[in-house]
A and B are shown apart, each in its own frame.
Chain A
Amino acid sequence: MALISCENAAFGYDSEIVLSDINFSLHGGEYMCILGENGAGKSTLIKGILKLMNPVSGTIRMGEGLKAWEIGYLPQQTAVQKNFPASVFEVVLSGRINSMGIRPFYSGRDRKDAHEKIRLMGMEEYEKKSYQELSGGQKQRVLLARALCASKKLILLDEPAAGLDPVAMNDLYELIKDINDNMKMTVIMVSHDVRAAVKYASHILHLSHKQLFFGTTADYIKSSAGKEFLEGGTVYDY
Chain B
Amino acid sequence: MIINTINAIFSYPFLMRAFVVGILVSLCAALLGVSLVMKRYSMIGDGLSHVGFGALAAAAALNAAPLSVAIPVCIVCAICLLRLKDGSLVAGDSAIAIVSSSSLAIGIMIISMSSGMNTDVYNYMFGSILALSYADMVLCIVVSILIIAVYILFYNRIFSFTFDEVFARATGTNTGMYSIVLAVLTAVTIVIGMRMMGALLISSLVIFPALTAIKMRKTYKKVIVISAVVSVICFVVGMFVSFNAEAPVGASIVIINLAVFIIVSLYSCVKRLFTQKHV
| Complex alpha-carbon distance, A95 and B171, angstroms | 8
List residues 39-92 of chain A with CB under 8 A from any CB of chain B. Answer: 50, 52, 67-71, 73, 75, 78, 80-81, 84-87, 89-91
**In the complex the two chains form, is B171's CB within 8 Å of A90's CB?**
no
| Complex alpha-carbon distance, A84 and B177, angstroms | 22
Centre residue among A69, A80, A94, A128 by max chain B CB count within 10 A:
A94
**In the complex the two chains form, is A130's CB within 8 Å of B218's CB?**
yes
**In the complex the two chains form, is A86's CB within 8 Å of B220's CB?**
yes
Tell whether A100 pairs with B40 under 8 Å between CB atoms, given A81-B164, A130-B218, A132-B217: no
Of the stretches B49-57, B155-163, B231-239, B248-256, the one at the interface is B155-163
**In the complex the two chains form, is A80's CB within 8 Å of B38's CB?**
yes
The contact of A130 among B152, B159, B166, B219, by CB within 8 Å, is B219
**Least Cβ–Cβ distance between B33 and chain A, in angstroms:** 12
**In the complex the two chains form, is A85's CB within 8 Å of B170's CB?**
no
The reply to whether the CB of B169 lies closer than 8 angstroms to some CB of chain A is yes
Contacts of A89 in B (CB 8 A): 219
The contact of B164 among A70, A78, A133, by CB within 8 Å, is A78
The reply to whether the CB of A236 lies closer than 8 angstroms to some CB of chain B is no
**In the complex the two chains form, is A85's CB within 8 Å of B39's CB?**
no
The contact of B156 among A70, A71, A105, A150, by CB within 8 Å, is A105
| Complex alpha-carbon distance, A150 and B166, angstroms | 14
Contacts of B167 in A (CB 8 A): 73, 75, 94-95, 146, 150
**In the complex the two chains form, is B171's CB within 8 Å of A97's CB?**
yes
What count of chain B residues pass the 8 Å CB interface test?
31
What count of chain A residues pass the 8 Å CB interface test?
33
The reply to whether the CB of A104 lies closer than 8 angstroms to some CB of chain B is yes
**In the complex the two chains form, is A104's CB within 8 Å of B219's CB?**
no
**In the complex the two chains form, is B172's CB within 8 Å of A69's CB?**
yes
| Complex alpha-carbon distance, A132 and B39, angstroms | 16
Contacts of B154 in A (CB 8 A): 104
**In the complex the two chains form, is B218's CB within 8 Å of A97's CB?**
no
27 contacts between A and B (CB under 8 A): A50-B170, A68-B170, A68-B172, A69-B170, A70-B171, A71-B171, A80-B40, A84-B220, A85-B214, A85-B218, A85-B219, A85-B223, A86-B159, A86-B223, A87-B219, A87-B220, A94-B159, A94-B160, A94-B164, A95-B167, A97-B168, A98-B173, A100-B156, A104-B153, A104-B156, A130-B219, A150-B167
Interface residues of B (CB under 8 A from A): 34, 38-40, 152-157, 159-160, 163-164, 166-173, 213-214, 216-221, 223
Q: Which 9 A-B pairs have the closest CB atoms?
A: A69-B172, A87-B219, A86-B220, A98-B171, A73-B170, A75-B166, A94-B160, A50-B170, A104-B153
